[in-house]
Structure 1
Amino acid sequence: MGKYKVIIKPTAEKDLLNHKKSGAISSIKKILKILNELQEHPQYGTGNPEELKYELKDYWSRRINKKDRLIYQIQENIVTVFVVSAMGDHE
């Protein structure tokens, strides 16, 4: 079990289901790898982790594929990562 607890918000759950329905095996494998890494080290790893700026300054982004990003928030005080989106870009 990892250091961080990963909670997937309902909007991200819907996005993940859409990825599964799309049948894009490479995206699905990458998402699973990212979700596993988030439990251990949410600031670095697969998908070019990037701390976001401006309105999304408390969030991070990781590349799933050319057009989709996994967006998440790290809350160190409760050692939890909240996944909020997995479709589209953060812009």
Structure 2
Amino acid sequence: MRTISFHIDAFDQYNEWSRTNIKLFERIQRLIAETSRNPFTGIGKPEPLKGGLRGYWSRRINDEHRLVYKVTEEQLIIISCNSHYK
């Protein structure tokens, strides 16, 4: 299993969801768990990003928000868990 780490902004977003919207927070937790096991398949419609975000992937938290991440053999790095590609 990969080690999970957060970009500082993503960690702030993650904590904000825990305080403001428990339903979305639980969805994010499920997405992170699934992504650590299967980074390119599964729930949330994973898709590779293009352009300036090439090398990163996203999964849908809901219609508005995305989980943006990068994967290595040993690590899952959460870049954002908020608005669409910000």
Asked whether the two chains share a fold, i.e. TM above 0.5, the reply is: yes
Distance apart, 1:14 and its partner CA: 0.5
Residues 40-59 of structure 1: pairs in structure 2 closer than 5 A? 40-59=37-56
Query: Which structure 2 residues correspond to residues 1-91 of structure 1 after superposition, within 5 A?
Result: 3-22=1-20, 24-76=21-73, 79-90=74-85
CA RMSD of aligned residues (A): 1.3
After the TM superposition, list the runs of 4 or more consecutive aligned residues in structure 1 that deviate by more than 4 angstroms. Answer: none
Structure 1 range deviating more: 4-13 or 56-65? 4-13
- How much has 1:10 moved relative to structure 2? 1.1
Q: 1:68, 1:87 within 8 Å by CA — same for their partners in 2?
A: yes
Quote the offset at 1:25 in angstroms.
3.1
CA displacement, residues 8-31 of structure 1 (integer Å, 9 cap, x when unaligned): 121110011121121x23311211
TM-score by length of 1: 0.85
Structure 1 letter corresponding to 2:22: I
Residues 32-90 of structure 1 show CA distances to partners (whole Å, capped at 9, x for unaligned) of 111111221111111111100111011000111121111001123xx211101111001
* Distance in 1 of aligned mates of 2:26 and 2:4: 17
Q: Give unmatched runs, 5+ long, in structure 1.
A: none
User: For 2:76 and 2:68, how far apart are their aligned partners in 1?
Assistant: 10
Structure 2 unaligned regions, length at least 5 = none
Work out the CA distance in 2 between the residues paired with 1:21 and 1:29: 11
Distance 2:53 2:3 in 1: 21
- Counterpart CA distance in 2 for 1:11 and 1:28 is 15
